[in-house]
């Protein structure tokens, strides 16, 4: 409950700050900069370093790559059919193609499936969702930002993504035990990610923009909360004998849009209002859709 309360408070603060003169228009830019250069690298340093990897990691790790790839195909087809612009397409790939597999995902997994599911959830988040964001996600965002494909520019963009360095360092130092004091500092800095991101999104959220983005919002959330879990169900159905693994993968695929990918989409000015709507409406809506999915799972309807 405390996680859900934090969601509501941070969204509310963002909406409030937007109306206060003490918080200028560039407030989200400042908050997003701190997130991308401090909060997220701290989380990566801690979790990737501590992650235990084994053969069973393959299944939960592969799911975010599958969903992102499917989102890329679906939304690029809609772009080719001239149903949406390229920035809108990239915005939906980055928000609907990547799920909130940690902050929202972990509490919901623990509630629905118990703590035993969290190991699979961490693998899906760190080696799946984060890796997708760090490489194909950043490359796609850079293409949308620059308006063209330039390999040198793309490499510079990827190398300019601070969490990449944290990821490499965490992998290289996996055999070295971090001091407890460092772990505590990394966790506390990492804990700032979700509150700051939600305040930033709340600041950006303007429900009046639904009128201009309603169709794309419906398409994006329809894909993320409904179509993606259906796809995952059929792809991973052969492993449903391992009930916990299968149910964890299925529920993680149904989570709301990822906070960090939304922040990056807003930061790079890729349909920022649509991105904030995807997250701002997607998170509370996902509580209902994941509850329904869990009911179907537990009732042996699927």
Could you report the per-residue pLDDT of 29-86, keeping only the tens digit for each? 888 889 888 988 888 888 778 777 666 668 899 999 999 999 999 999 999 999 999 9
Task: Return the percentage of the chain with pLDDT > 90, whole number.
Answer: 37
Count of the separate structural domains present in the chain? 1
For the record, the structure tokens of 76 come out as 């690029």
pLDDT at 66: 97
Bigger pLDDT: 284 or 251?
251
pLDDT at 1: 64
Q: Do residues 67 and 253 lie in contact, with contact meaning Cβ atoms separated by under 8 Å? A: yes
**What are phi and psi for residue 156, nearest 5 degrees?**
-65, -40
* Residue range of the domain that includes 284: 1-299
Q: What mean pLDDT is predicted for residues 189-195?
A: 84
Question: Alpha-carbon distance 41 to 103, whole Å?
Answer: 16
Q: Give the residues across from 99 on adjacent strands.
A: 257
For the chain, the C-alpha Rg in angstroms (whole number) is 18
- Residue 172 sits at the vertex; the CA angle it makes with 170 and 177, to the nearest 5 degrees, is 65
Predicted confidence at residue 58, as pLDDT, reads 82
pLDDT of residue 98: 96
Nearest CA to 133 among 222, 264, 253?
A: 264
| 235 contacts 78 by C-beta, under 8 angstroms | no
Q: Which two tokens stand for residue 188?
A: 């506390």
pLDDT given at position 56: 66
- How far apart are alpha carbons 44 and 36 in whole angstroms? 11
153, 159 in Cβ contact below 8 A?
no
Contact assessment for residue 279 and residue 256, using Cβ atoms and an 8 Å cutoff: yes
Q: Write the CATH number for 67.
A: 1.20.1530.20
Chain segment 201-225, per-residue pLDDT in tens:
788 777 776 777 889 999 999 999 9
State residue 38 phi and psi, 5-degree precision: -130, -60
Helix (H) or strand (E) holding 143: helix 138-146
Helices (H), ranges, the chain: 2-17, 27-34, 40-50, 58-80, 86-96, 105-113, 118-123, 130-132, 138-146, 151-159, 162-172, 180-190, 193-204, 210-222, 228-236, 243-253, 259-267, 272-298
pTM: 0.79
| Rounded-to-integer distance, Cα 60 and Cα 41, Å | 22
Task: Give me the pLDDT at residue 107, please.
Answer: 73
């Amino acid at each position: 409950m405390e996680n859900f309360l934090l969601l509501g408070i941070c969204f509310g603060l963002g909406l409030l700050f937007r109306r206060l003169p003490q918080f200028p228009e560039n407030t989200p830019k400042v908050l997003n900069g701190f997130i991308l250069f401090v909060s997220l690298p701290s989380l990566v340093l801690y979790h990737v370093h501590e992650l235990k990897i084994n053969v069973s990691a393959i299944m939960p790790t592969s799911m975010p790559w599958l969903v992102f790839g499917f989102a890329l195909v679906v939304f690029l087809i809609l772009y080719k059919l001239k149903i949406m612009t390229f920035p809108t397409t990239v915005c939906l790939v980055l928000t609907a193609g990547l799920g909130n597999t940690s902050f929202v995902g972990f509490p919901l997994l623990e509630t629905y499936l118990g703590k035993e599911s969290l190991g699979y959830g961490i693998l899906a988040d760190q080696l799946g969702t984060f890796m997708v964001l760090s490489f194909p996600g950043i490359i796609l965002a850079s293409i949308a930002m620059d308006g063209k494909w330039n390999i040198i520019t793309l490499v510079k963009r990827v190398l300019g993504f601070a969490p990449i360095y944290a990821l490499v360092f965490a992998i290289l130092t996996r055999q070295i035990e971090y001091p407890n004091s460092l772990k505590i500092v990394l966790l506390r800095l990492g804990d700032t990610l979700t509150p700051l991101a939600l305040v930033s999104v709340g600041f950006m959220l303007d429900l009046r923009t639904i009128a201009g983005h309603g169709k794309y919002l419906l398409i994006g959330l329809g894909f993320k909360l409904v179509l993606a879990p259906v796809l995952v169900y059929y792809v991973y159905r052969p492993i449903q004998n391992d009930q916990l693994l299968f149910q964890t993968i299925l529920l993680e695929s149904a989570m709301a849009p990822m906070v960090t990918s939304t922040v990056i989409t807003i930061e790079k000015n890729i349909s920022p209002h649509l991105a904030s709507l995807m997250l701002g409406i997607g998170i509370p809506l996902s509580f209902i859709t994941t509850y329904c999915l869990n009911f179907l799972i537990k009732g042996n309807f699927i």
